[in-house]
Amino acid sequence: MAGIYVHIPFCKSKCSYCDFTSYPDKLCYAEGYMACVYREMAKRSKELKSYKFDTLYIGGGTPSVIDEKYIAMLIASAKKNFNLAPDAEITIEMNPGTVSESKIRAYKKCGINRFSVGLQTAVDSQLSDLGRVHDLKDFIGCAKLLKGENFSADVMIGLKNQTVGDIEKTIQTASDNGALHISMYALTPEDGTPVYTDYLNGELPDGDEVAQMYGAGVEKLASLGFERYEVSNFCKDGKKSRHNLNYWRRGEYIGFGVSASSCINNVRFTNTFDLDEYFKCILSDCFAVIDSEEIDREGQEEEYIMLRLRTSDGIDLNEFKKLFGCEFTEKYSVQINKLKDSLDRGSDSIKIKDEFLFVQNSIIVEFFN
Ligand code: SF4
């Protein structure tokens, strides 16, 4: 089974930390853009005829900022052009400042069964620092509209003036309001964003403080019954994100829209990041791919190890042998021995110990050194 991703690059305004492909001032292009996405889907349908898809993820940007009729047409187009399983997980990302009762009703009607809500923090002054268009009240209102639905909340750590207590409050708020899944990410101050100035001025928590925040967040999540299944992802009642699990398992996926990337048959390709260029390509009946790379066997193996070590299940030794034709523990015995204090070795798996999961990046770097 493979996944479908669609990128909707429009937002109400630009958040102070954002370096995603998103445009705060181009909502007027939404209709034309969506028509191009439907066209891109139709153009890809033939080559993906033999594929079965069991997830559709509508991300951005802010997909909830555009009229719901375009989302309904998008899902209809995905169903028309691809073999999308009847029980597919269909997720939409939403900003709490852009939702309404009628929008959510329309989403449910067209088959959306998972909602990913950008809460980020339950502290209004921090939301305002981040340039978010919503406040805590908006999140609570949005959560009320999603009552009984499978919804996820995004939580950020490492914010200016953020305390461990703020993180615990944010997680508690998300849980109290019905979130069954929480993604907890550390703020990355990207060069060129306003938050980068805060970073240069030493106004953001340092690495040790962020690690402490993460540890406190993990504890709080565990106390509320959230199970960690990937370094940044936690869920209740087994509500893992099927779409993201596919990425971490090196599954195949096809992306549509500006900046979307795909990986089909071990070829990774990415669409242009430029909106005008995207329009130009699709309207002249071409694809908008700007970069394409075939992943060789060695690359596949490396990716598999990197992605699997991010997850709490770790590397499945039997699966590794089936995929790559060798014993992981023999081929990588030197690395396993070097990192033995950070790894948990079971009979069928090897994973990073829970207490080291947050620093998995440096462990993975050491693994490949
Ligand atoms: S809502 Fe998301 S994509 Fe849009 S500007 Fe903010 S962080 Fe970027």
List per-residue pLDDT tens for the chain, 369 residues long: 999 999 999 999 999 999 999 999 999 999 999 999 999 999 999 999 999 999 999 999 999 999 999 999 999 999 999 999 999 999 999 999 999 999 999 999 999 999 999 999 999 999 999 999 999 999 999 999 999 999 999 999 999 999 999 999 999 999 999 999 999 999 999 999 999 999 999 999 999 999 999 999 999 999 999 999 999 999 999 999 999 999 999 999 999 999 999 999 999 999 999 999 999 999 999 999 999 999 999 999 999 999 999 999 999 999 999 999 999 999 999 999 999 999 999 999 999 999 999 999 999 999 998
Short-list 287, 286, 289, CA closest to 272: 289
- Cβ of 356 closer than 6 Å to ligand 1, yes or no, is no
Which contiguous run of DSSP H or E holds residue 125?
helix 124-129
Q: What is the pLDDT of residue 369?
A: 85
Cα(121) to ligand 1 centroid in Å equals: 14
Q: What is the pLDDT of residue 250?
A: 95
Q: What is the pLDDT of residue 21?
A: 95
**Nearest atom within ligand 1 for CA of residue 11:** 4
> Which domains, and CATH codes, for the chain?
2-247 (3.20.20.70), 314-368 (no CATH)
Q: What is the pLDDT of residue 36?
A: 98
Sign of CA dihedral 137, 74, 115, 260: negative
How are strands ordered across the β-sheet holding 289-294? 227-230, 233-235, 181-186, 151-157, 114-120, 83-94, 52-60, 2-8, 253-256, 261-264, 267-271, 289-294
Q: What is the pLDDT of residue 224?
A: 98
- Cβ of 22 closer than 6 Å to ligand 1, yes or no, is yes
Q: What is the pLDDT of residue 158?
A: 98
DSSP summary character for residue 350: E
Sign of CA dihedral 131, 135, 141, 144: positive
**Amino acid identity of 217?**
G
Short-list 223, 214, 225, CA closest to 185: 214
Hey, which residues does 116 pair with through a beta bridge? 93, 152
- Mutate-to-test residue for ligand 1 from 15, 121, 127, highest number of ligand atoms within 8 A of CB: 15
Q: What is the pLDDT of residue 231?
A: 96
Cα(118) to ligand 1 centroid in Å equals: 9
Cα(264) to ligand 1 centroid in Å equals: 28
- Cβ of 60 closer than 6 Å to ligand 1, yes or no, is yes
Contact (Cβ atoms closer than 8 angstroms) between residue 276 and residue 33: no
- Mutate-to-test residue for ligand 1 from 8, 10, 13, 18, highest number of ligand atoms within 8 A of CB: 18
How many whole angstroms separate alpha carbon 161 and alpha carbon 163? 7
Q: Write the DSSP string, 160-225.
A: TT--HHHHHHHHHHHHHTT-SEEEEEE----TTSHHHHHHHTT-S--HHHHHHHHHHHHHHHHHTT
Q: What is the pLDDT of residue 277?
A: 98
pTM above 0.85, yes or no: yes
Of all protein residues, whose CA lies closest to atom 5 belonging to ligand 1? 14
Of all protein residues, whose CA lies closest to atom 6 belonging to ligand 1? 15
How far, in whole angstroms, is CA 85 from its chain's centroid? 21
How many whole angstroms separate alpha carbon 58 and alpha carbon 79? 14
